[in-house]
Chain A
Amino acid sequence: MVNRIKELRAKFNLTQNDLALKVNVRRETIVFLEKGKYNPSLKLAYDIAKVFDLTIEEVFIFDEE
């Protein structure tokens, strides 16, 4: 699964710290997410999408492979 968190964060002018505080996770979790090393729970994915005012599918793109 790939995601657009880094791109959207830049677009909304948010730092990793800002996003982490908004969705109530540690900064390391955002780092892992952006590097594609961690797939979030449905709740965290929803919270992140909500910050960017998008749907989950617009932020997280499921890769069949």
Chain B
Amino acid sequence: MKTIFWPVFILTWSLVLSGLWIIQPNEAPASLLEFIFVGIIVVFFALGVYFGYNRFRNKQQGFPEDDEMSKKITQKAAALSFYIGVFLWVILIYIQSHTTIGLNWILASGMIGMALTFIISWSILSIGRIKFEQ
């Protein structure tokens, strides 16, 4: 769990802060950062489609859609996203009290951040980049 924490935490925060940067009202044209943020979202969407397709293919080939390992991966990803989400909300509340960013945007960023944390954790565990601890 410790091995996966920092990569997911840093990646999530770069996304949330990028989101906050984007929603600040300004008249300037789209910046490079906005394109990067949208690009990352597209990558996550593509990952979702890929895993969805794999699930469908498994079913077609007679394999179960879910087995004990996939259920454990989902549980671990949920636990990790909750754990990181606690820190995320604390920092968002701090940002809200020290900037002029609206509460609606803070809430939206927090929710998107939690969802992204789950997707990142689930993807990393599913791809098997980090040893799955018991």
Bound pair: A and B? yes
B86 to chain A, nearest CB (A): 28
- Complex contacts, B131 vs chain A, CB 8 Å: 37
Q: Which residues of B contact A (CB under 8 A)?
A: 58, 61-64, 67-70, 126, 128, 131-132, 134
The reply to whether the CB of A4 lies closer than 8 angstroms to some CB of chain B is no
Q: Do the beta carbons of A21 and B132 come within 8 Å of each other?
A: no
The reply to whether the CB of A35 lies closer than 8 angstroms to some CB of chain B is yes
- Complex contacts, B69 vs chain A, CB 8 Å: 25-26, 28-29, 32, 38
Q: Give A40 to B72 CA distance when docked, in angstroms.
A: 11
Q: Which of A20, A21, A28 has the largest number of chain B CB atoms within 10 A?
A: A28
Q: Do the beta carbons of B132 and A37 come within 8 Å of each other?
A: yes
Q: A26-B67, A28-B70 are in contact. List 14 more A-B contacts (CB 8 A).
A: A25-B64, A25-B68, A25-B69, A26-B64, A26-B69, A27-B63, A28-B126, A29-B68, A31-B128, A32-B69, A37-B132, A38-B69, A41-B68, A44-B68
Q: Give A13 to B123 CA distance when docked, in angstroms.
A: 32
Q: Give A27 to B69 CA distance when docked, in angstroms.
A: 11
Q: Do the beta carbons of B63 and A20 come within 8 Å of each other?
A: yes
Q: Which of B63, B64, B128 has the largest number of chain A CB atoms within 10 A?
A: B63
A29 to chain B, nearest CB (A): 4
Taken residue by residue from 10 to 33, chain A's Cβ proximity to chain B (1 for < 8 Å, 0 otherwise) reads as 000000010011001111110110
- Complex contacts, A39 vs chain B, CB 8 Å: 134
Determine which of A29, A35, A37 lies in contact with B67 in the assembled complex, contact meaning CB atoms within 8 Å: A29
